[in-house]
Chains A and B, each alone.
Chain A
Amino acid sequence: MNIITRVQDSLFRFFDGDVWYSFTQSKTTIVAAIVTVILMLASLLAPFISVHNPFDPTNLNLMDSFTPPVWAEDGRWAFPLGSDDQGRDLYSTILYGSRLSLFIGFASVAFSMTLGVSLGLIAGYLGGSVDAFIMRVADIQISFPGILIALLIDGLARALLPGESHDEVMVYVLILAIGLSQWVNFARTVRGSTMVERNKEYVQAARVIGVSRLFIMVRHIMPNVMGPVLVIATISLAVAILSEASLSFLGVGVPPTQPSLGTLIRIGQDFLFSGEWWIVIFPGITLAALVLAVNLLGDWLRDALNPKLR
């Protein structure tokens, strides 16, 4: 069977299956999916559909700053949603900003998923003192709010790194910080499922014929515990985007010259009292829509993959 027929086959199975059916039955989910896809496409295609690249200071003109949205008095088509205090077009900045937010979100979820799934598998399969150690570390970490852990890691990185290299590595520090604050959810779920799977016949059979422990964990157990992981990953994506926004809002996230949605909201907050509402409102709406849509998708996925609710 070549790869194309395999993909065709699995696509066919997907659209024919329960999951797709439950998707088509839920209007909320369809709307959420459409919003997510639009926002993701828009941020992916940002260089083609934006007015200018707001991350490049040569494009900015201070005299354009505080332009109101196009429908308001003094609005201009060059700045459909208005401009901020540096003369950045808000529409373009939101596109580029959500690109950054989504990138940090996806990357940190991938990171925490890799870490959490591996540790969960090891803890669940090996058991004993390894399990106890990993899960106690997880317990300790979960007793702190995630945002505090992220702040701590961020602060440490700032202290250790020399000043001028901040900007380049800040995005990766954020990914690390947010990822490290979320791995526990993955590890706990995977550990539980692994402990169930470990005693099933197929695993015992594999053990009897002398398959290595690593191979059993990766090829036999992991595929069977990934369902809940997908659900957690989707919800974690929303949490990660929010964490990034919170950190940037607090001023410890991405540098102000490359604003993410959180940074934009922080900048706009200074002008809340002065009538320039558009600087904070539009990024705020975008962030809320994105997080809500991803959360709704996660909710639906959890229900769809839950055999008890079918």
Chain B
Amino acid sequence: MKLKTAVTGLALGAALAVSATAGVQAKELKFAFQGTLTSWDPYRLNETFTLGTMGNVYEGLIHRKPNMVIEPGLAVSWEIMEPTRWRFHLRKGVKFHNGNDFNADDVVFSATRVRAEGSDLKTRISADTKAIKVDDYTVDFVSDNPNPIIFSEWGTWNIIDKEWATEHNAVTPQNVGGTKENYLTRHANGTGPFIMVSHEAGVKTTFKPNPNYWGKKQHNLTSVTYTPIGQDATRVAALLSGQVNMAYPIPVQDQKRVNSADNASVLIGPELRTIFLGMDQFRDELLHSSVKGKNPLKDKRVREAIFHAIDINAIQKKVMRNLSEPSSLMIAPSLTPISKDHFPRRAFDPAKSKSLLAAAGYPNGFEIGLDCPNDRYVNDEAICTAAAAMLSKVGVKVKLLAQPKAKFFPKVLAPNLDYSMFLLGWTPGSLEAGNVLRDLFYCPRASKGEAIWAKDSRNKVGKGKFNLGGYCNPALDALTDQILSETNMKKRDEMITKAMGITVDDAAYVTLHQQALAWGVAKGVNVKQRGDNVFDWRYVMID
């Protein structure tokens, strides 16, 4: 035992010496992103940047490689015991940053917390699934129905230390709409390769590598600094002046300039994120509209009219400078068995739009509010202003409210749902259509027979949690249930094609496009770009 300690000590000393020599040449990653990190509570906001950044500090049971393939994370292996019972074997000897051991209790605790009231990540594990501790390093997940892809979204289900959260009174998550903070809002304690050193919301967050990380070290960083820079031009200037050595997104209009500079270049990749307009289809009267006593968006003809009014090619050419792919589906076609042109997008046709509006009883159009983020997606505000101008030509007068995401998300997401139309983007966490059908199209009800988005139980909604428009089609729900538990992949693909056809036909959303990814990287910095726009520092090498 003594010998072992001595050997460990020696090894540690050697490691320290090595890191000390490496420290002579500081390898600092300084990156800037468009938006801010509003909270460090891992279950507060289901949003790519927030979860992606946390993924460097916290870890899930699985991990996604740069090519999105699943590899073991905190779980070493998993197996199906019976169709409804999955067994996960946990990694041994992993420690949280505060020194606590990682074990099955933490997984069971996290499984409860992620589904607790207020969590924005409820959909990570279905409500009927039970997490059962078998021994300290084995956990079973038992559900009512078989689920072939139970772990597909667990890359962003970050595991929290039970003792630490309990000690600091943060057993339940911070609510997305609420303003109440808890200890986890400003503190982080994960198992990941980086440790959060300091966090000033909206100003700067600093990190250092975790010397005790269990995994293989694939980066050579000595520190990481994240600065939110909302202004597009300022972010580009920061990259070109060397103030940061990685910045994203690079606005489409500035990519030529960054590429022509000799100290940086733009890394472009197809993104999996779909940008769309959502519409309130559940209220009997819209919150922000001139139409009183009824809801025009419940009428499919009105939704189609909005579709036909939008000149997506103009948006692609002028706002996105060709760095987008117009889409009729709510998911990138490459993630589905469906070919790109299988479901054509409703064409730009203002005359048809006007006649549809007239047929629905609005020959003179109406007024409506549109909520928009201005620091979340590529040119989000410009897309909204363009859409507003296009809609005004068919008589739909849009009152646009473009806000930073810190104000936009709490307003639009459940439980507030304070909008009439909104612009949002979605990348399915599981990278397949089941997630989209379940999160964006399923009837948002806490229990059967209840009204859609019933006021008192909005926080309890699981399936359909991001179906903010309250679109509801029982036939599609039945199909979705089948898809979620179908293990025959060919049958599953057929059902997905059918389900997607229903969503296109119902005009549940006005789909816009899949945006392209654009990261600005300084010379000498090597990063791996992930299709879901997650920046994983594990693979950053600085020359």
Residues of A whose CB lies within 8 Å of any CB of B are 56-58, 60-63, 65-66, 85-87, 163-164, 166-167, 255-257, 269-276
Which single member of A56, A164, A255 contacts B369 (CB below 8 Å)?
Answer: A164
Contact of A57 among B311, B392, B411 (CB under 8 A): B392
Contact status A269-B233, CB under 8 Å:
yes
**CB–CB B401/A86 < 8 A:** no
- Are B315 and A62 in contact (CB-based, < 8 A)? yes
User: Does chain A have a CB within 8 A of B153?
Assistant: no
Q: Give 22 pairs: A residue, B residue, CB < 8 Å, sorted on A.
A: A57-B392, A58-B393, A61-B314, A62-B386, A62-B390, A85-B318, A85-B319, A85-B382, A163-B401, A163-B418, A255-B400, A257-B385, A257-B388, A270-B233, A270-B253, A272-B233, A273-B237, A273-B254, A274-B251, A274-B253, A274-B257, A276-B253
Expressed in whole angstroms, the Cα–Cα distance for A69 and B93 within the complex equals 67
Consensus secondary structure, chain A interface = loop
How far is A65 from B256 in the complex, measured between Cα atoms in Å? 18
* Residues in A whose Cβ lies below 8 Å from that of B399: 164, 167
Q: CB-CB < 8 A to A276: which residues of B?
A: 253
From A57, A255, A272, contact of B389 by CB (8 A): A57
A62, B251: Cα distance in complex, Å:
18
Known: A65-B318, A164-B288. A274 touches B385 (CB 8 A): no
Interface majority SS (helix, strand, loop, mixed), chain B: helix
Given the known interface contacts A256-B402, A273-B254, A274-B253, the answer about A66 and B318 at a Cβ–Cβ threshold of 8 Å is yes
By the criterion CB–CB under 8 Å, are A271 and B314 in contact? no
Give the interface of B toward A (CB within 8 A). Answer: 231-233, 236-237, 251, 253-254, 256-257, 288, 311, 314-315, 317-319, 369, 381-382, 385-386, 388-390, 392-393, 398-402, 411, 418
Contact A257 B254 (CB under 8 A): no
The reply to whether B314 and A257 contact each other, CB–CB distance below 8 Å, is: no
CB within 8 A of B400: which of A65, A256, A269, A272? Answer: A256
**B232 contacts A63, C-beta separation under 8 Å:** no
The closest CB in chain B to the CB of A56 belongs to B392
**Would B251 and A86 count as touching, CB distance under 8 A?**
no
A269 neighbours in B (Cβ, 8 Å)? 231, 233
Q: Which residue of A lies closest to B391 (CB)?
A: A57
Closest B residue by C-beta to A268: B233
Contact A62 B233 (CB under 8 A): no
Tell me the total A-B contact number using a CB cutoff of 8 A. Answer: 77
CB distance from A244 to the nearest CB of B (A): 20
Find B251's partner among A57, A257, A270 (CB 8 Å cutoff).
A270
**Given A63-B317, A167-B399, A256-B400: A270 touches B385 (CB 8 Å cut-off):** no
Residues of A close to B388: CB separation below 8 A: 57, 257
Closest A-B pairs by Cβ, 8 of them: A274-B253, A57-B389, A57-B392, A62-B314, A60-B389, A65-B318, A273-B254, A273-B257
Q: Which residues of B contact A273 (CB under 8 A)?
A: 233, 236-237, 253-254, 257
Q: Do A257 and B253 touch (CB < 8 A)?
A: no
Interface centre among A57, A166, A272, A275 (most CB of B within 10 A): A57
Q: What's the least CB distance linking B540 to chain A, in Å?
A: 25
Which of A56, A62, A276 counts the most B-chain CB atoms under 10 A from its CB? A62
List residues of chain B with CB within 8 A of the CB of A166: 401
Chain B residues whose CB sits within 8 angstroms of the CB of A255 once the complex forms: 400
* Chain B residues, CB < 8 A from A61: 314
Interchain CB contact under 8 A, B314 and A63: yes
Q: Which residue of A lies closest to B253 (CB)?
A: A274
Q: How far is the CB of B412 from chain A (nearest CB, A)?
A: 11
Distance of A58 Cα from B396 Cα, bound (Å): 10
**Cα A256 to Cα B382 with chains together (Å):** 10
Closest to A66 in B: B318
Q: Which residues of B contact A272 (CB under 8 A)?
A: 233
Question: Contacts A163-B369, A163-B411 given; 12 further ones with Cβ under 8 A?
Answer: A63-B318, A85-B382, A86-B385, A87-B318, A163-B418, A167-B399, A255-B400, A270-B232, A273-B233, A273-B253, A273-B257, A275-B257
Chain B residues within an 8 Å CB radius of A66: 318
For B404, give the chain A residue with the smallest CB separation.
Answer: A251
Q: Check B231 against A62 for contact (C-beta < 8 Å).
A: no
Residues of B within 8 A of A167 (CB): 399
| Shortest distance between the CB of B371 and any CB in chain A (Å) | 8
Question: Residues of B contacting A257 with CB < 8 Å?
Answer: 385, 388, 400
CB neighbours of B401 from chain A (8 A) = 163-164, 166
A62→B254 contact, CB < 8 A: no
In the complex, A271 Cα to B257 Cα: how many Å? Answer: 11
With a cutoff of 8 Å between Cβ atoms, the chain A residues found around residue B392 in the complex are 56-58
Chain A residues within 8 Å of B382, by CB: 85-86
Q: Give CA–CA (A66, B319) in the complex, Å.
A: 10
A163–B389 Cα gap in the complex (Å)? Answer: 20
**B381: A residues at CB distance < 8 A:** 256
Q: Judging by beta carbons under 8 Å apart, are A86 and B233 in contact? A: no
Alpha-carbon distance A166/B371, docked complex (angstroms) = 13
Scoring A56, A85, A257, A273 by chain B CB atoms within 10 A of each residue's CB, the highest score goes to A273
Would A62 and B253 count as touching, CB distance under 8 A?
no
A272 to B234 alpha-carbon distance, docked (Å): 10
A47 to B411, CA, bound (A): 38
